[in-house]
Amino acid sequence: MFADNRWLRMLHPGITAIVGAGGKTTVLERLGTFGHAGNYPLMVSSTVPVERTRVDTVEPFDVICTEDIARGEQFCVERIAAGHVPAWFSAADDRGRYAGLSPELIDGIKRRHPAWYILLEGDCARDKWLKAPLSDDVPLPLSCDTVIGVVNLQMLGNTLSADKVAGIETAAAIMGRPVGAVITPAMLAKLLKHPRGLFRGMPCRKILFCTGYNAVQHRMTAALLDDLEDLGLAASVLADGYRTTCTIRQYVCYDFTRERE
């Protein structure tokens, strides 16, 4: 139950965008599952185009694919009223990949349904462990209330390489080190704190969600969090495991007021 409560602490009415790399879908699914168990009025979606993402649909999500706004919104209203979690996308292809909704449409849904908890996958990392700012990043909805930035801690002590990092040249330039360099906490913090970095400069509640916690030396994680003290985080979450086995090990709240905003 303690773990359940820590997942629920991340949920607030409005728009929660999940960005970064190394566990976004896991975080979205876990939040959806625990929120559904808590009887929260949840809706799931994405703002990422179909050709660049795949969102696996599992219980408790009920999926609709339509560009008809009235039809999609009515589906969500009915599913939420029935105690289900609707997942609304604009389309799907024959490989099970979904096209997200526009950020403007998500903003409109929030205005019409301010009590809903709208969970979005808002980034595409192409199955990498780390992501640099990319020129074709899809903007987040302007009225985002929370941005959860996902980072795989296993990048600490790993090499800066194209097979692990989306946008490798940009990442190397921001970190100020060549491709192939070993990533230190200071280097990773520099990338995360970039104005167009993990949280996109969004003026809202920011939560750092770190996966792979037990796979790296805890002193390296502590050094990373120390380097991020001036990022204005509401909380840091340290977790390991994948999908249904994902377990929160530590939930560090930095500012109770900011966390509740």
The tens digit of pLDDT for each residue in 129-140 reads 999 998 888 899
Closest C-alpha among 22, 81, 34, 92 to residue 60: 34
Q: Where residue 1 falls among pLDDT bands split at 50, 70, 90? A: very low
The pLDDT tens digits for 76-134 are 999 999 999 999 999 988 777 788 999 999 999 999 999 999 999 998 887 899 999 98
The pLDDT of residue 21 is above 50: yes
Q: Which residue has the tokens 């980034």?
A: 123
Q: Is 255 within the bounds of a domain?
A: yes
Give the separation between CA 188 and CA 220, rounded to whole angstroms.
11
pLDDT above 90: percentage of residues in the chain: 80
The pLDDT of residue 2 is above 60: no
Q: Is 95 within the bounds of a domain?
A: no
Tokens at 3, concatenated: 């773990």
Highest mean pLDDT among 25-39, 176-190, 238-252: 176-190
Q: Provide CB contacts within 8 A for 58, sequence distance 6+.
A: 29
Between helix 168-175 and helix 185-192 the angle, nearest 10°, is: 110
What is the per-residue pLDDT for 94? 76
Q: Is 253 within the bounds of a domain?
A: yes
The pLDDT of residue 39 is above 50: yes
Strand pairing report for 14-20 and 117-121: parallel
Q: Is 158 within the bounds of a domain?
A: yes
What is the per-residue pLDDT for 3? 56
Q: Is 50 within the bounds of a domain?
A: no
Q: Is 64 within the bounds of a domain?
A: no
What is the per-residue pLDDT for 20? 95
The model's pTM is: 0.94
What is the per-residue pLDDT for 244? 85
Give the separation between CA 98 and CA 253, rounded to whole angstroms.
34
Q: Is 69 within the bounds of a domain?
A: no
Cβ proximity of 205 and 146 under 8 Å: yes
Q: Where residue 58 falls among pLDDT bands split at 50, 70, 90? A: low
Cβ proximity of 16 and 10 under 8 Å: yes
H helix or E strand, kind and range, residue 15: strand 14-20
Domain ranges, residue 137: 2-41+115-260
Closest C-alpha among 76, 17, 74 to residue 48: 17
Q: Where residue 49 falls among pLDDT bands split at 50, 70, 90? A: confident
Q: Is 88 within the bounds of a domain?
A: no
Residue 192 Cα to chain centre, angstroms:
14
Query: How many structural domains does the chain have?
Result: 1
Question: 57: phi > 0 → left, psi -120 to 50 → alpha, else beta; which?
Answer: beta
Q: Where residue 185 falls among pLDDT bands split at 50, 70, 90? A: very high
Closest C-alpha among 128, 119, 112, 108 to residue 52: 128
Q: Residue 177 pairs with which residues in a beta bridge?
A: none
